[in-house]
Amino acid sequence: MTGPAPQRSEKDVVIRLRGIRNQFGSHVVHDGLDLDVYRGEILGVVGGSGTGKSVLLRSIAGLIRPAAGEIEVLGTDVRSASEEERTALERRWGVMFQDGALFSSLNVRENVEVPMRGVAGLDPALRRAMADLKISLSGLPWLAGDKFPSELSGGMRKRAGLARALALDPEIVFLDEPTAGLDPIGAADFDTLIRQLSDTMGLTVFLVTHDLDTLHAICDRIAVLAEKKVLVTGTMDEMLEVDHPWVHDYFHGPRARAALTAKDMKDAR
């Protein structure tokens, strides 16, 4: 809950953030932010509008450079890593953005192949076969590989983005609002897919979301961003005990109660 994270061995921490400060001009988004992410867990990151959930994800993935602080991923200092070290590290994680961020001029298979093209000596036929495997793992029909992003539904574009994030068999996957815009059935199916992939592939998942159903269904721990830092981390049960006003309202409001009821009904089946 509040205070230090649960005791784990040092090798279990795959992402370590200390003293992160992100600001844009005079606007400070994060100040003194600390967070540990453990190997094999699904961590849900939540917070109010403007708390910098996606900014934090992009900072860890090296797409934004914080003004201060330390970022260590899989034992590598992201901020001081050489180009060679950074390239090697980026092959150990995958990123899925909200809308999939697919290249519109490439079909799904070609989009999934993009990260593989940086691997020297990879045979094109093998690259194509690997892309088709990742497309299948993402839950898309095999015919989807030949389709362009404009021919896909929103849910299919998200799955294609996930397939690309899985292209290099990463150890960590960053997901930015993966169920946003999906209907309840589609969102539930996507949650199930993430849980299955995490379990079967041993993935660590850093998941930015506002979806309470997702938090209940698949997240092992939750990190709440507020007051420019990670205010609290813990399980869903622990979140329900936090007396901070925003945290209490978020996890005890009407939508939270509906999500909890839905989970209880599912568990009872």
Summarised one tens digit per residue, pLDDT across range 114-132 is 999 988 888 999 999 999 9
Domains of the chain: which residue ranges? 13-235
∠ CA(254), CA(189), CA(145), 5° rounding?
Answer: 140
Question: Residue 214, Cα to own-chain centre: how many angstroms?
Answer: 12
Low-confidence ranges of the chain (pLDDT < 50): 1-7, 265
Assigned CATH for 13-235: 3.40.50.300
* Residue 108 burial (10 A CB sphere; 0-12, 13-18, 19+): buried
Which residue from 75, 22, 90, 77 is spatially nearest to 53, judged by alpha carbons?
A: 22
CB 49 within 8 A of CB 1: no
**Two structure tokens written together for 18:** 């200390």
What is the structure's pLDDT at 5? 44
Which contacts qualify for 116-124: CB closer than 8 Å, 24 or more apart?
116/167, 116/168, 118/87, 118/91, 119/91, 119/168
Summarised one tens digit per residue, pLDDT across range 44-94 is 999 999 999 999 999 999 899 999 999 999 999 998 899 999 999 999 999
Compute the distance between CA of residue 184 and CA of residue 28 in angstroms, rounded to an integer.
35
What is the structure's pLDDT at 253? 72
What is the structure's pLDDT at 6? 45
What is the structure's pLDDT at 257? 52
Predicted TM-score (pTM) of the model is: 0.89
Q: Mark residue 164 as left, alpha or beta (left: phi above 0; alpha: psi -120 to 50; beta: remaining).
A: alpha
